[in-house]
RNA sequence: GGGGGUGUAGCUCAAUUGGUUAGAGCAUCGGAUUGUCGAUCCGAAGGUUGCGGGUUCGAGCCCCGUCACCCUCGCCA
């Protein structure tokens, strides 16, 4: 079937191997035919080696070699030959040598591939996903997979060295309400009952702490039946951690150490510690998001108290308790109407009512004229006329503006204004190229609110219902729940949420108060979480933990902008696998056995 | 569910205001070629313009519907 087994890979031969007889196995990467003289580049995941078929050494092979097609799997026996100086290929590590073939075995032929297995050519992602096994043959994808493997190894190495135990938890669990939609698996033996695929190992890892296992970690798959994004898949992988007898800083220290280790070991990048810490409130106020990109400045400023109320857009919003806030686009005063319109279209798309633009210019008129602030600074734009001198002075100061800058203002309810400006800030980051590729700016966001109000007015947990409130709020939990801060923390890198965690509740009474605040009846919580509440009564230690999105870690470390490129077989945005066609149908017999009937379809 | 973008040869793209037989590069196939490494040269083949309707003398282009992929809002405790 196949006789010539490799003695070396396609990436390891060097000048020092000259004269050695070797066998290489691999895929035909390219063929260059000169009639009597034929070159083949043989590729495997370790590299590429040039094989020579010459009439001098292997006249009988030349014709056979001339028929080799791309992506055929072949085995070649030959002698390593140091190349003449003028034929060395400096671009590849094996470029100093070539293998002078004496024997050729065609192991497997290949049809013409639907796209070329090279880096040079752009291929639609759809095509790559349909033939993922070919896409994964490309060196960049192999680099991604390799890097991911190294990351996992570095994480395990670090966690193990810190004394953490690698422990598994069930994927098939009991459905628990709240949070992400679960995938359900019908039970064959119990009609009408279902397992749920775990959306995270949360409860089990807490129970490990009750068991006294003290330091747990796992690289675990999580399943969530929610809509997809560039950085979200139905199933994804987390580095999951839980520790006993710890406070917030202990958990943050461990994960910081782990991340720094990974970045150094895999990326060769020294990340300074400790990571900056910013509160949720500050992050929302200055960056308009709970996952700030700190690679560039452009903080949001507030003009509410100094905004001209005669300008109705501002006046009516302030009247209603809203805010006027803005961003300074340095050097953008020369932007055309078309360019600023684009910004307005964008902010309207994310919920803004409008965008007020003001240009800071050198005045044409003398100081003292309408709107002219000083000899060298004047506001221009349709709203400029509403700015009396003190107000103009205020906005210039708060915006830190100078002539040539463009000021972008949004007036709205506080949360809306913040999120709109937060989005606009990122748009400007990309349009203006404000960040240098290859920079990594980590930060912690802390002091999240305990609760949030949902669309229907109901109170929900911001993090999850097992998160402990900060001690100073224990007495006012019921009185002012919306003011309660949680012992929760998120790790953010370059504006992407890498992970989050919290110190947990370890007392039954506190846990029950939280459940009650969330509107869950005692009967309901007993049914769903009884085992957890029981566990808390048998000696639960204080504990806390965190989970890091491994796919996002790999994506960011590699400088990519979607996690599909670090996942071997991802789903499309519409949650299907283009290669296998999953999800697929099953037979009536299977459905019957599972006591399931399909309706409407 | 909402908004935006894309869809033309195997792949990546082009095609003036709606107007001749829809072009190019790469890949493929045939031929030439003894030092290439993105080989080169000569030649050939390759099309339901995502799909379905409509407007028009005439549609890749305009209109309606639909499908797929990507980005995004909602959603993701």
Work out how many domains chain A is built from and give that number: 3
Domain presence at residue A474: yes
Domain presence at residue A470: yes
What are A547's strand-pairing partners?
A240, A500
CATH number at residue A206: 3.30.930.10
Residues A450 and A392 reside in one and the same domain:
no
Residues A301 and A425 reside in one and the same domain:
yes
Q: Is the CB of A465 under 7 A from strand B?
A: yes
Q: Which of A61, A82, A108 is the last residue of a domain?
A: A108
Residues A405 and A462 reside in one and the same domain:
no
Q: In what order do the strands lie in the sheet with A301-302?
A: A301-302, A323-329, A406-412, A356-361, A377-380, A372-374
ipTM: 0.93
Domain presence at residue A587: no
Report CA(A52)–C1'(B46) in Å, whole number.
32
Q: Which of A407, A432, A457 is the last residue of a domain?
A: A432
What confidence score (pLDDT) does residue A367 get?
A: 56
Residue whose structure tokens are 């506001």: A379
Residues A379 and A425 reside in one and the same domain:
yes
CATH number at residue A34: 2.40.50.140
Domain presence at residue A336: yes
For the segment 71-90 of chain A, residues whose CB is within 7 A of strand B: 83-84, 86-89
Q: Is the CB of A429 under 7 A from strand B?
A: no
Profile chain A (601 residues) by mean pLDDT over runs of 10 residues.
94 97 97 95 97 92 94 97 95 96 96 91 91 95 97 98 98 89 96 96 97 98 96 97 97 97 98 96 95 94 94 92 93 85 81 89 66 66 89 92 92 91 90 89 96 80 93 93 95 96 95 91 89 94 97 96 96 95 94 91 51
Residues A425 and A301 reside in one and the same domain:
yes
Q: How far, in Å, CA of A389 to CA of A69, rounded?
A: 76
Q: At what angle do helices A202-210 and A522-536 cross, to 10 degrees?
A: 40
Q: Is the CB of A34 under 7 A from strand B?
A: yes
What confidence score (pLDDT) does residue A374 get?
A: 57
Residue range(s) defining the domain that contains residue A56: 15-108
3-state SS, residue A502: strand
Domain presence at residue A28: yes
CATH number at residue A379: 3.30.1360.30
Contact A7, A99 (CB under 8 A): no
- The tokens describing A418, both together, are 């913040």
For the segment 47-66 of chain A, residues whose CB is within 7 A of strand B: 50, 52, 54-56, 66
Domain presence at residue A600: no
Residue whose structure tokens are 């149908």: A585
Report CA(A28)–C1'(B24) in Å, whole number.
27
Q: Is the CB of A573 under 7 A from strand B?
A: yes
Residues A471 and A560 reside in one and the same domain:
yes
Residues A264 and A311 reside in one and the same domain:
no
Residues A148 and A53 reside in one and the same domain:
no
Residues A455 and A396 reside in one and the same domain:
no
What confidence score (pLDDT) does residue A336 get?
A: 82
Query: What per-residue string of b and e applies to A471-485 under the rule 16 or more CB within 10 Å gives b?
Result: eebeeebeeebeebb
Q: How far, in Å, CA of A551 to CA of A497, rounded?
A: 12
Residues A49 and A102 reside in one and the same domain:
yes
Domain presence at residue A204: yes
Residues A251 and A313 reside in one and the same domain:
no
Domain presence at residue A159: yes
Report CA(A263)–C1'(B20) in Å, whole number.
62
What confidence score (pLDDT) does residue A379 get?
A: 87
Q: Torsion over CA of A348, A350, A356 and A358, rounded to 10 degrees?
A: -120
What confidence score (pLDDT) does residue A343 get?
A: 85
Chain B bases near protein CB atoms (7 A cut-off): 1-3, 10-13, 25-29, 32-40, 68-77
Residues A95 and A190 reside in one and the same domain:
no
Name the E strands within A207-347: 215-223, 235-244, 277-279, 301-302, 323-329
What confidence score (pLDDT) does residue A365 get?
A: 62
């Amino acid at each position: 079937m196949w006789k010539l087994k490799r003695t070396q890979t396609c990436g390891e031969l060097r000048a020092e191997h000259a004269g050695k007889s070797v066998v290489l196995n691999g895929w035909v990467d390219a063929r260059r035919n000169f009639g009597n003289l034929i070159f083949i580049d043989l590729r495997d995941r370790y590299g590429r080696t040039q094989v020579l078929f010459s009439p001098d050494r292997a006249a009988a092979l030349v014709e056979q070699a001339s028929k080799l097609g791309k992506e055929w799997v072949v085995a070649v026996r030959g002698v390593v030959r140091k190349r003449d100086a003028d034929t060395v290929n400096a671009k590849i590590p094996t470029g100093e040598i070539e293998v002078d073939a004496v024997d050729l075995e065609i192991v497997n032929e290949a049809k013409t591939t639907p796209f070329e297995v090279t880096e040079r050519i752009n291929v639609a992602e759809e095509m790559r996903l349909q033939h993922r096994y070919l896409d994964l043959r490309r060196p960049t994808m192999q680099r991604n997979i390799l890097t991911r493997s190294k990351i996992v190894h570095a994480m395990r190495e670090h966690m193990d060295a810190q004394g953490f135990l690698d422990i598994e938890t069930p994927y098939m669990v009991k459905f628990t309400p709240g949070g992400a939609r679960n995938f359900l698996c019908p039970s064959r033996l119990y009609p009408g009952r279902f397992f749920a695929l775990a959306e995270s190992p949360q409860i089990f890892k807490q129970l490990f702490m009750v068991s006294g296992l003290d330091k747990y970690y796992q690289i675990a798959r999580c399943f969530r039946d929610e809509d997809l994004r560039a950085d979200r898949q139905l199933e994804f992988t987390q580095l999951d951690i839980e520790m006993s007898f710890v406070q917030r800083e202990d958990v943050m220290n461990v994960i910081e150490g782990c991340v720094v280790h990974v970045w150094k070991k895999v990326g060769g990048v020294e990340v300074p510690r400790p990571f900056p810490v910013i509160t949720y409130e500050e992050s929302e106020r200055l960056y308009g998001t709970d996952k700030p990109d700190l690679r560039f400045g452009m903080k949001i400023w507030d003009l509410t108290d100094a905004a001209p109320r005669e300008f109705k857009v501002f006046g009516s919003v302030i009247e209603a308790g809203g805010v006027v806030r803005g961003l300074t686009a340095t050097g953008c005063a020369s932007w055309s109407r078309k360019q600023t319109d684009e910004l307005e279209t964008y902010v309207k798309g994310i919920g803004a009512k409008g965008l007020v633009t003001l240009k800071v210019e050198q005045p044409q008129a003398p100081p003292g004229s309408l709107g002219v602030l000083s000899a060298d600074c004047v506001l221009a734009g349709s709203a400029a006329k509403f700015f009396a001198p003190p107000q103009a002075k205020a906005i210039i100061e708060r915006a830190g503006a100078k002539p040539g800058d463009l000021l972008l203002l949004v007036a709205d309810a506080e949360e809306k204004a913040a999120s709109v400006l937060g989005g606009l800030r990122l748009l400007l980051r990309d349009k203006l190229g404000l960040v240098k590729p290859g920079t990594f700016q980590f930060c912690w966001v802390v002091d999240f609110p305990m609760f949030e109000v949902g669309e229907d007015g109901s109170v929900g947990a911001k993090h999850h219902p097992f998160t402990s409130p900060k001690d100073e709020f224990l007495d006012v939990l019921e009185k002012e729940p919306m003011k309660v801060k949680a012992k929760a923390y998120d790790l953010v890198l370059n504006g992407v949420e890498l992970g989050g965690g919290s110190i947990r509740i370890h007392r039954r009474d506190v846990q029950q108060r939280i459940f009650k605040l969330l509107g869950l009846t005692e009967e309901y919580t007993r049914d769903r979480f009884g085992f957890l509440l029981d566990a808390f009564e048998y000696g639960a230690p204080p504990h806390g933990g965190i989970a890091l999105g491994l796919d996002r870690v790999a994506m960011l470390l590699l400088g990519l902008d979607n996690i599909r490129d670090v996942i071997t077989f991802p789903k499309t945005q519409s949650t299907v696998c283009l290669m296998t066609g999953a999800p697929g149908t099953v037979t009536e017999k299977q459905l019957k056995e599972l006591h399931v009937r399909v309706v409407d379809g």
